[in-house]
Structures are given as structure tokens and as C-alpha cells.
């Protein structure tokens, strides 16, 4: 029965979700051609490309959440999602039915992402199954996100589709990077989670609850966050906050690591885009804190329909991050240290990794 579940039903579903993923990817690759992306000569309306990279090797570690990479494009401001001509016409009806993001009189953005995350136990030299440590796992995905905002509030709804297991090619990626850098290759990938398609729906709301001197000299703000996710990859509820302080802090919705519904660093409006005037550069510090109540995490609970390795997860997980951001005209770099509490019972201590984001506004 296990063999049927892991090699029969799942691959059929995988083909369906792979097809959906290709649709999102095709849209993503065509984003520079989207109508509305051309700046208004009277008032620039920018889009943003962002590359996210996270790795624990910066702290001489190679374990647990060991690597993540994501590439995202965020559209210029839209008065309606239908302005994005690369969204299929048939999708407009369903987008209008989505909750939270269709309130009238708000600005909107569409974002497309592709990414990969990988997870390993602490001892990657062992070939056998390490029962009291987390499973080897990879997650390769495509995502479409819909943002709705005014100057103080941002609602984000994201749909992710992808694959967990050997077809995520996380094993190939990690071994290739280790070979390139002369590191010893991990030996236990034969014990990774089995192939399984993934589908997740994620919602997040951010509020700016305090600000002073934004975008013009010394200032800062405080943002709060609440949201959650439902799907076979993650199911959780989360809440958190972020504080920023420094020179020319942009009027956007803060910094973020690789996480669902996080691609929201486009300006609130084109007026705050760092494309003209004195606000061509910024330097500021930020700190974030958030917690999750976790009902499901496939990377700890194991496969949904097939028997696989799993560990006893912690139901409450917290993150804190400390970082610095530099903006010069159209370029932005964010560097942060992230500390995450234990995610499963037998984990030895907290997780640390570095998070780097490079963005280009055009």
C-alpha cells in the first residue's frame, strides 16, 4: 500500500501541480512585458526584482534549515488586478472572489516567485536514517501573490505550488554547491522525504502602527503582522512585529526573510520610490520578532500520503532577526542574522542563519 501511495497517486498529482507551476513560471518570465510596467513620464511607477538568499554556513553550521533561495518580481502599482495583462483572462473572476485583497479604493500589486528550500539533519556524514533528527527534505516551488495596500495597511494572499522529495532536486543543488566549494558531500539524501506535490494558501496582514520622519532624514516606524497558512506543506497561524530606525527609512512595509507572503517591499506609492529628489539613499537598522503556532510542517511531520521519516515537532516556534539595510537610488541590500527557536523536541539548541536580500527597482 505504501508503495502505491508513494509511487502511484502522488506522481499523478505531481504532474497536475507541476502544470500549475509552469503556468506561474511562464507568467513570471514574462513580467517585464506586463502592461502597466512602463513608468508614467510624469510620475514613475516602479516594479521591483528581489533575490533572497539564506544559509547557515555563515555561522559555520550545515544543518536543519540549511539553505533557501527565492527570486521575486513585484508589479508596479495597479488600480485593478486585471491591469496585469499576463494574468489569464479566466483568472480575473476567481481573483475577484479571493478574500481580504479586493477592498475598493486601494492600490494593488501582483508578485511572482520561484524558490527552493532544503533541510538536513545535523550530521550529514551518516548514510543511515537518523531517527531522532529531522528528515532530509527539499521544496521547490512557484508562487503568485496578490497585495492590496494603503499607506498604513497591507493585505497579502499567496498561492504556492511545488514539489517535495527527489523531484525538488534539492539533493542535486546541495551536492553541486558542496562540490564547487570543496566541502564534503552530504551522505544521507537516500533517506529524504518521498515525492509529494505541495499546495499552500497563505495570508498576511501588516499595519504601520507608528512612524516618524519617514523617507526624509532621521526617522523610523513600527509594523505589526498577523496571518496564517493552510495546505499540505504548512498549516499555521502567526503574529509578529518589526521596528526600523535610521536615515530615509522608506515608506514601504518592511524587511522580510524567505517566508510565504513576504514579497512586499515595493513602495506604498510611487511617490516614495527612491527614484527622485533627495531620498536617493537610505541607511537604517531593523529588528523583527514573530511567532508561529504550527499545526502541520511537512518537513518535520513527514509525507502526507506515504510513510516517511518524521520527528516530534514543537507546536510553537519563534524567530528574531537583526539587520541593516542600505539603499542607493534603485538598488537595495538587506543583511540580517536570524535566530529561530527549536522546531522539534530533540533539536540541540536554536537555529542561526544569515539572510541577504538584493532588490532592484526599475
Q: Could you state, in order of their start, the residue ranges of all structural domains in the chain?
A: 2-361
Summarised one tens digit per residue, pLDDT across range 210-242 is 999 887 889 999 999 999 999 999 999 999 999
Summarised one tens digit per residue, pLDDT across range 133-183 is 999 999 999 999 999 998 899 999 999 999 999 999 999 988 888 787 777
Where does the pLDDT of residue 200 fall: very low under 50, low under 70, confident under 90, or very high at 90 and above? Answer: very high
30/280 Cα distance (integer angstroms): 29
Whole-number Cα distances in Å, 17 to 24, 75, 116, 261: 11, 24, 16, 19
Q: How high is the mean pLDDT of the chain? A: 82
CB 4 within 8 Å of CB 185: no
State the cell numbers at 174: 546541495
Q: Is the pLDDT of residue 360 over 80?
A: yes
Summarised one tens digit per residue, pLDDT across range 13-66 is 555 555 455 545 544 454 443 333 344 434 456 788 999 999 887 777 778 898
pLDDT score for 86: 63
Angle at 55 between CA 53 and CA 57, to 5 degrees: 140
pTM exceeding 0.85: no
Q: Is the pLDDT of residue 82 over 80?
A: no
Segment holding 162, helix H or strand E? strand 153-164
Nearest to 116 by CA among 162, 73, 156: 162
In this structure, which topology does domain 2-361 adopt according to CATH? Lipocalin (2.40.128)
**Per this entry, what is the length of the chain?**
362
Between 123 and 268, the higher pLDDT residue: 123
Angle at 238 between CA 233 and CA 239, to 5 degrees: 160
Amino acid at each position: 500500500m505504501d508503495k502505491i501511495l508513494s509511487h502511484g497517486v502522488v506522481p499523478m498529482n505531481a504532474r497536475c501541480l507541476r502544470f500549475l507551476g509552469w503556468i506561474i513560471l511562464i507568467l513570471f518570465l514574462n513580467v517585464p512585458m506586463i502592461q502597466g510596467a512602463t513608468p508614467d513620464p510624469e510620475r514613475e511607477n516602479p516594479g521591483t526584482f528581489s533575490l533572497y538568499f539564506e544559509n547557515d554556513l555563515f555561522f559555520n553550521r550545515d544543518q536543519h534549515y540549511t539553505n533557501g533561495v527565492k527570486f521575486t518580481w513585484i508589479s508596479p502599482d495597479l488600480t485593478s488586478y486585471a491591469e496585469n495583462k499576463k494574468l489569464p483572462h479566466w483568472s480575473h473572476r476567481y481573483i475577484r472572489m479571493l478574500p481580504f485583497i479586493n477592498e475598493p479604493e486601494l492600490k494593488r500589486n501582483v508578485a511572482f516567485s520561484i524558490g527552493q528550500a532544503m533541510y538536513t539533519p545535523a550530521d550529514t556524514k551518516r548514510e543511515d536514517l537518523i531517527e531522532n533528527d529531522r528528515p532530509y527534505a527539499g521544496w521547490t516551488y512557484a508562487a503568485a501573490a496578490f497585495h492590496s495596500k494603503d499607506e498604513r495597511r497591507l493585505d497579502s494572499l499567496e498561492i504556492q505550488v511545488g514539489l517535495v522529495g527527489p523531484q525538488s532536486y534539492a539533493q542535486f543543488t546541495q551536492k553541486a554547491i558542496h562540490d564547487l566549494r570543496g566541502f564534503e558531500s552530504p551522505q544521507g539524501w537516500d533517506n529524504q522525504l518521498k515525492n509529494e506535490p505541495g499546495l499552500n494558501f497563505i495570508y498576511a496582514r501588516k499595519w504601520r502602527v507608528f512612524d516618524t520622519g519617514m523617507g526624509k532624514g532621521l526617522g523610523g516606524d513600527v509594523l505589526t503582522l498577523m496571518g496564517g497558512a493552510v495546505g499540505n506543506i504548512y498549516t499555521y497561524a502567526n503574529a509578529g512585529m518589526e521596528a526600523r530606525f535610521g536615515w530615509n527609512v522608506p515608506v514601504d512595509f518592511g524587511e522580510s526573510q524567505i517566508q510565504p507572503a513576504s514579497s512586499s517591499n515595493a513602495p506604498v506609492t510611487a511617490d516614495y520610490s527612491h527614484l527622485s529628489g533627495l531620498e536617493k539613499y537610505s541607511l537604517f537598522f531593523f529588528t523583527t520578532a514573530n511567532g508561529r503556532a504550527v499545526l502541520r510542517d511537512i518537513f518535520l511531520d513527514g509525507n502526507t500520503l506515504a510513510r516517511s521519516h518524521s520527528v516530534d515537532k514543537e507546536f510553537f516556534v519563534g524567530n528574531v532577526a537583526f539587520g541593516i539595510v542600505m539603499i542607493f537610488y534603485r538598488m537595495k541590500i538587506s543583511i540580517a542574522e536570524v535566530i529561530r527557536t527549536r522546531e522539534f523536541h530533540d533539536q540541540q539548541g536554536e537555529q542561526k542563519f544569515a539572510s541577504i536580500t538584493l532588490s532592484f527597482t526599475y
